[in-house]
Amino acid sequence: MAPGDDPAAERTEFGDSIDHDRPLTHSPNDSGFDYFFGIPASLDMQPYCFVENRETVGVPSVEKDHYAPQQRKGLMVPGWRDDLVDVSHAERACGFIEDSHRAGRPFFLYLTPGVPHRPCVPPQFMAGASRAGLRGDCVALYDWVVGQVLDTLARLGIADDTLLLVTSDNGARATDFYGNTWGHRTCGPWRGQKADIWEGGHREPLLARWPGVVPAGSVCEETVCLVDLMATCAEIVGHDLGADEAPDSVSLLPALRGEQLREPLREATVHHSIDGTFALRQGEWKMIRGLGSHGFSDPRTIEPEPGGPEGQLYNLADDPQETTNLWQEEPAVVARLSKLLDTWITEGRSVER
């Protein structure tokens, strides 16, 4: 056999020594999920294939035949199509809902489409849907996926018995791959973008629909975090979390119900940028350990000047765009927030049960 005929040698050409014929040893099935269907990572990373539970759907055995902008070289399953990934995700998600309903089983569906993460490769039926380029069309595709789930719930007559949450894991990129904004401010009025320690990197909406529980048309100003979904779901199903389970999660159920809260649900919320720079938000205050965005936006890092501020402190109630650094004007606030962040870092948790 010639060296070029050895499949293992072909894999190492792409820096991949994984044997795709073998089951996964770390899958969502090993983290409590009964069933998993998805892609191994984001759509810019190889191998290009679906994974069902612990096995790939087909074997990634040939080099990808076409690379979209920002895609890494690698192997794909023969016949792979980037543009149909989230169509398949929607089909599987709706099928799971239908199967669960038919069997009379309550269900928990965690659906994370590949869009609008790079690369943006919308299917033909979404082409031009946004009038904002490929990335805009992929945002529209995300809306389509949510619509497929809503339509399925309505068709089965269970939409009013189901809690539906729609959110994002971080802020958006400021432009598309080609540097276009299309006249759209992807992060709204907030400073910065995805990966930054500023609000544009972290602040996004959480939409909730649960007729009879979540008051229709209501708005809640509570600061919450994705980690809170664990404690929220646990309270909904009546599961008491152990002392060391979800040590940073707080139940959002009182806020979802529209209850008048005497105090914030969370004592404070920790953020960090793509380079690991920490921020702590508590009430109106946000303290950042470092100067600059520490992400994608310029200036990324700034060295402190002698006698100048070592970090950033903003009053988000008065200055939500983070324009005025109050680090030196409010040393007591800096000290208080720094002490709390240090405590949580040392203890490895922010919630006691």
Question: In the chain, which residues have pLDDT < 50?
Answer: 1-12
State the pLDDT at residue 18. 80
The CB density around residue 327, as the number of other CB atoms within 10 Å, is 19
State the pLDDT at residue 17. 72
Hey, what are 266's tokens?
């969370």
State the pLDDT at residue 21. 86
CA distance 23 to 353: 37
Q: Taking phi first (over 0 means left), then psi (-120 to 50 degrees means alpha), and beta for anything else, what does residue 276 get? A: left
Please state the domain extents for the chain.
1-80, 269-347
State the pLDDT at residue 15. 52
CATH architecture of 269-347: 2-Layer Sandwich (3.30)
Strand runs labelled E in 173-223: 207-209
Q: Taking phi first (over 0 means left), then psi (-120 to 50 degrees means alpha), and beta for anything else, what does residue 70 get? A: left
Whose tokens are 């040393």? That residue is 331
- What size, in residues, is the chain? 353
Cβ 177 vs Cβ 119: under 8 Å: yes
How far apart, in Å, are the Cα atoms of 175 and each of 140, 181, 199, 284, 318?
16, 5, 17, 29, 28
Strand runs labelled E in the chain: 37-38, 51-52, 55-56, 62-63, 75-76, 164-166, 207-209, 269-272, 278-282, 285-288, 312-315
